[in-house]
């Protein structure tokens, strides 16, 4: 009975998500604000971020991430967040892939002080290695991410309200709003980006378009 019910819930989520373009959500643990930096990066804990130079961070993540224009503010810190451990077991509400081992990579964090007085962090990381066929990965991961919580399932985004779906930099994105800060997630190929800021929505979307 449990198998039938779980499959039905999964199929319903696929049908719902398939009606709109949606950013591919990386797998991760259920979001806990006390442990993780945001609803997307639930594979690295807050205490795993350590100071680094730009050169060190770039070498560790293996690519040169986008950065903020100097006209918007100034960089105040660079950190590297290392997943501990890098390979983690993720549970999914899927009969074919109930449990997967995912290989996560470090997060390159750039912290900024904006000219408006607000703060902003720009995190960048490679999409993790996931043992799911390419033709199935989007439906499997996004269905798991948006499945509501129940007695047997802890929601991927934890206590956070479901994100808004929008387009930034000509790609699908997710915007979380807890009435205090915005968290914006999008992908550029295999490169993933997460912005967290207390700037206004208008400023956030302008800044994203101006990233270099």
Instruction: Give tens-digit pLDDT for 173-187.
Output: 999 999 999 999 999
Burial class of 3 by CB neighbour count within 10 A (0 to 12, 13 to 18, 19+): exposed
CB count in 10 Å sphere of residue 91: 15
Name beta bridge partners: 122.
110, 195
pLDDT of residue 21: 56
The total domain count for the chain is 1
pTM for this model (two decimals): 0.89
pLDDT of residue 23: 79
Among 17-26, 42-51, 85-94, 164-173, which is the least confidently predicted range?
17-26
How far is Cα 199 from Cα 119, in angstroms, rounded to an integer?
7
Could you report the per-residue pLDDT of 116-157, keeping only the tens digit for each? 999 999 999 999 999 999 999 999 999 999 999 999 999 999
Share of the chain above pLDDT 70, in %: 90
Higher pLDDT, 13 or 106: 106
pLDDT of residue 50: 98
Residue 2 near residue 13, CB atoms below 8 Å: no
Could you report the per-residue pLDDT of 20-79, keeping only the tens digit for each? 457 789 999 999 999 999 999 999 999 999 999 999 999 999 999 999 989 999 999 999
Structure tokens at 186: 């999008």
pLDDT of residue 13: 41
Domain span holding position 53: 2-210
């Amino acid at each position: 009975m449990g198998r039938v019910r779980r499959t039905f819930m999964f199929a319903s989520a696929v049908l719902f998500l398939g009606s709109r373009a949606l950013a591919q959500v990386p797998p991760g643990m259920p979001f806990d604000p006390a442990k993780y930096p945001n609803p997307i990066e639930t594979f690295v804990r807050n205490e795993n971020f350590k100071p680094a130079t730009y050169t060190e961070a770039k070498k560790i993540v293996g690519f040169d991430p986008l950065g903020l224009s100097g006209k918007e503010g100034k960089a105040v810190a660079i950190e590297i967040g290392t997943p501990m451990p890098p390979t983690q077991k993720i549970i999914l509400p899927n009969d074919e892939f109930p449990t997967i081992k995912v290989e996560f990579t470090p997060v390159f964090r750039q912290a900024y002080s904006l000219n408006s007085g607000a703060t902003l962090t720009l995190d960048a990381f490679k999409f993790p290695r996931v043992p799911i066929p390419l033709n199935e990965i989007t439906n499997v991961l996004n269905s798991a991410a948006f499945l509501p919580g129940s007695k047997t399932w802890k929601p991927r985004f934890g206590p956070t309200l479901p994100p808004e779906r929008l387009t930034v930099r000509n790609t699908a994105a997710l915007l979380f709003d807890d009435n205090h800060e915005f968290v914006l997630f999008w992908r550029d190929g295999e490169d993933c980006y997460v912005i967290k800021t207390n700037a206004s929505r208008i400023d956030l979307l302008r800044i994203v378009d101006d990233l270099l």
